[in-house]
Amino acid sequence: MAKPDSRISRALRSVRHSLFSVLLLAGCPSLTRAVAQDRHEFTAVHMGVPVRIVMYAPDTASARGAARAAFARIAALENIMSDYRPRSELRLLAEQPREWVPVSPELLAVLNRAVEIARLTGGAFDPTVGPLVALWREARRAGRLPDKAALARARERVGWMLLSVDVERRQVRLAVDSMQLDLGGIAKGFILQEALTALRAHGVSTALVEAGGDVVAGDAPPGQLGWEIEVAGADDEVTARARILSNSTIATSGATEQFVEIDGVRYSHVIDPRTGLGVTGSHVVTVIASDGALADAVATAAGVLGPGSAAMLSGRFPGMVLGFRVPVP
Ligand code: ADP
Ligand code: MG
């Protein structure tokens, strides 16, 4: 396929002390298409970060309409899945332990994925990790490890097997009192994927949605093999695959600016469910997978398990690409 004459390069993200950045190099529209497709771009803040939509559409009006629908979908899902909003469906669910609670199709879908990925990652990804996240936030503020008794109490309320999802009856059950669900490691990817679906429903399938370093790509731009995403510091396989991303997704986790150092050890904001404490180690993991929820959650799990886990995870998630790197300070 012919190379585009010129490229538009834009830093999608340069974060975490410049440890990681993603560049999107989108090609020019092909002249061979029957219907001219122009590139359109929209940004709005959701989930605490700028969400960017890039799309090819025949005119500005249809592009705007599609973007509006996608952002509305994102906002609606954020309302359901937020652990910060006291009235979110997720929070209300946690207030009804030990009984089957009917849930929305969206919450059912994301919780079902979360439990499935928790099982396949041996619990490294755990959507019930909320009490430990809360304790760890306190520890980070205080600059010391959580009290042993408090840690033990929190751990009694954590464990993905305490969360049951009944897909047929569309209901969910939390097995013990005072559980806290936290979808921080999967919701972003899930929601970006849903945004892409909303764009499709508006007739726009050549699109990319990106937020906080997670990228969900639809069909390739006109005349291109795929969206050209550059992941700074990535290995050859990730680099090659990200260069021609279409109908696929990328997520990153690890070595963030959200670390804390206690007694000379650096801990991340991601919890290792095996210890109940923040993950140690400075690796960054990039995952390329078929959908946003999967990439996001497995990136979190791989960050917990470390580089030694790559082979095991690749075996359990066929077609997935995992790349670990240790950023240069
Ligand atoms: P980012 O913060 O860059 O989106 P992740 O996708 O790895 O990074 O998500 C981290 C978030 O996931 C945490 O802020 C917390 O809300 C939640 N979390 C922490 N530890 C775990 C875990 N072991 N499994 C699932 N979710 C987790
Ligand atoms: Mg994640």
Distance CA 129, CA 125 (A): 9
pLDDT at 24: 58
**CB of residue 295 inside a 6 A radius of ligand 1:** no
Q: Starting at the edge strand that comes first in sequence, how are the strands of the sheet with 277-280 ordered?
A: 260-262, 265-272, 277-280
Strand pairing class (228-231; 248-254): unpaired
Ligand 1 atom 8: residue of nearest CA: 253
State in Å: Cα 183 to ligand 2 middle.
9
Positive or negative: CA dihedral 126, 132, 134, 138: negative
State in Å: Cα 203 to ligand 1 middle.
33
242-267 burial, b at 16+ Cβ within 10 Å, e below that, comes to bebbeebbbbbbbbbeebbeeeeeeb
Query: Residue 288 in contact with residue 317, Cβ under 8 Å?
Result: no
Q: Of 74, 301, 45, whose CA–CA distance to 186 is shortest?
A: 301
pLDDT at 9: 29
Q: Starting at the edge strand that comes first in sequence, how are the strands of the sheet with 163-166 ordered?
A: 101-102, 171-174, 163-166
Distance CA 104, CA 56 (A): 32
127 CA: nearest ligand 1 atom: 25
Strand pairing class (260-262; 265-272): antiparallel
**CB of residue 214 inside a 6 A radius of ligand 1:** no
Helix (H) or strand (E) holding 164, with range, is strand 163-166
Question: Residue 169 carries which DSSP code?
Answer: T
Q: Is 58 helix (H, G, I), strand (E, B) or coil?
A: coil
Q: List, run by run, the mean pLDDT of 10-residue segments along the chain (329 residues).
A: 30 30 49 73 97 97 98 98 94 98 98 98 98 95 95 98 98 98 98 98 98 96 96 92 98 80 91 96 92 98 93 94 85
**CB of residue 227 inside a 6 A radius of ligand 1:** no
State in Å: Cα 51 to ligand 1 middle.
18
pLDDT at 25: 54
Query: Residue 293 in contact with residue 185, Cβ under 8 Å?
Result: no
pLDDT at 23: 54
Distance CA 103, CA 217 (A): 29
Q: Of 147, 48, 60, 127, whose CA–CA distance to 293 is shortest?
A: 127
Chain position carrying tokens 């009917």: 102
Ligand 1 atom 5: residue of nearest CA: 185
Q: Of 208, 230, 232, whose CA–CA distance to 219 is shortest?
A: 208
pLDDT at 256: 64
Phi, psi of 118 (to 5 degrees): -60, -45
Distance CA 282, CA 121 (A): 20
pLDDT at 159: 98
Token digits of residue 282: 């400075």
Helix (H) or strand (E) holding 198, with range, is helix 187-201
**CB of residue 126 inside a 6 A radius of ligand 1:** yes
pLDDT at 205: 98
Cα-only R_g, the chain: 20
pLDDT at 282: 82
Question: Residue 160 carries which DSSP code?
Answer: G
Q: Of 93, 116, 110, 106, whose CA–CA distance to 172 is shortest?
A: 93
Distance CA 73, CA 21 (A): 27
pLDDT at 20: 38
Distance CA 46, CA 48 (A): 5
State in Å: Cα 125 to ligand 1 middle.
8
pLDDT at 193: 98
Distance CA 174, CA 185 (A): 19
Token digits of residue 82: 């937020």
State in Å: Cα 5 to ligand 1 middle.
40
